[in-house]
Amino acid sequence: MSDTIAAEAIASPGAPQAGEVAGDEASREASSIEMQGLHKRFGRDTVALDGVDLTIEAGEFFTLLGPSGCGKTTLLRILAGLEEADDGRLAIGGKDITEVPPHKRSVNTVFQSYALFPHLSVRENLAFGLKMLGLPREEREARVAKIAEFIKLGDLVDRRVDQLSGGQRQRIALARALVNEPDVLLLDEPLSALDAGLRSQLQVELLRVQKRLGMTFVFVTHDQQEAMVMSDRIAVLNGGVIQQVGPPREVYEHPVNAFVARFMGHDNLYPVTARHHDRLTTPLGELTAEDAGEGGLLLIRPETLDLLPGEVAGDNHLPATVSERLYRGSHAEYRLEIGASTLQATLNNRGRHLPEVGDRVTVSVAPEDLVTLSE
Same domain, 254 and 286: no
Same domain, 343 and 322: yes
Same domain, 247 and 368: no
Q: Is the pLDDT of residue 276 over 90?
A: no
Q: Please report, for the domain that includes residue 254, its CATH number.
A: 3.40.50.300
State phi, psi for 358 to the nearest 5 degrees: 95, -15
Same domain, 296 and 347: yes
Residues 6+ apart with CB under 8 A from 138: none
- Residue-wise pLDDT for 64-114, tens only, equals 999 999 999 999 999 999 999 999 999 999 999 999 999 889 898 888 777
Query: Which of 259, 291, 326 is the endpoint of a domain?
Result: 259
Same domain, 98 and 218: yes
Highest mean pLDDT among 135-144, 165-174, 237-246: 237-246
Torsion of CA 259, 260, 262, 265, to 10 degrees: 160
Position with higher pLDDT, 21 vs 35? 35
Report the predicted TM-score, pTM, of the whole model to 2 decimal places.
0.85
Q: Is the pLDDT of residue 13 over 50?
A: no
Query: Which of 218, 237, 259 is the endpoint of a domain?
Result: 259
Same domain, 255 and 278: no
- The per-residue pLDDT for 312 is 92
Same domain, 317 and 230: no
- The per-residue pLDDT for 63 is 97
Same domain, 116 and 54: yes
DSSP 358-369: T-EEEEE--GGG
Same domain, 299 and 253: no
The region of weakest confidence among 47-56, 187-196, 290-299 is 187-196
State phi, psi for 54 to the nearest 5 degrees: -155, 135
The total of structural domains in the chain comes to 2
Query: Which of 209, 226, 259 is the endpoint of a domain?
Result: 259
Same domain, 298 and 236: no
Same domain, 232 and 116: yes
Average pLDDT of the residues in 337-349: 95
Q: Which residues does residue 218 pair with via DSSP β-bridges, in sequence order?
A: 62, 186
Average pLDDT, the chain: 87
Q: Please report, for the domain that includes residue 323, its CATH number.
A: 2.40.50.140
DSSP state of 160: B
- The per-residue pLDDT for 28 is 55
| E strands present in 303-374 | 306-309, 317-327, 331-338, 341-348, 360-364, 370-373
- The per-residue pLDDT for 79 is 96
Same domain, 231 and 345: no
Domain with 345, as residue range(s), is 268-373
The region of weakest confidence among 20-34, 197-211, 223-237, 320-334 is 20-34
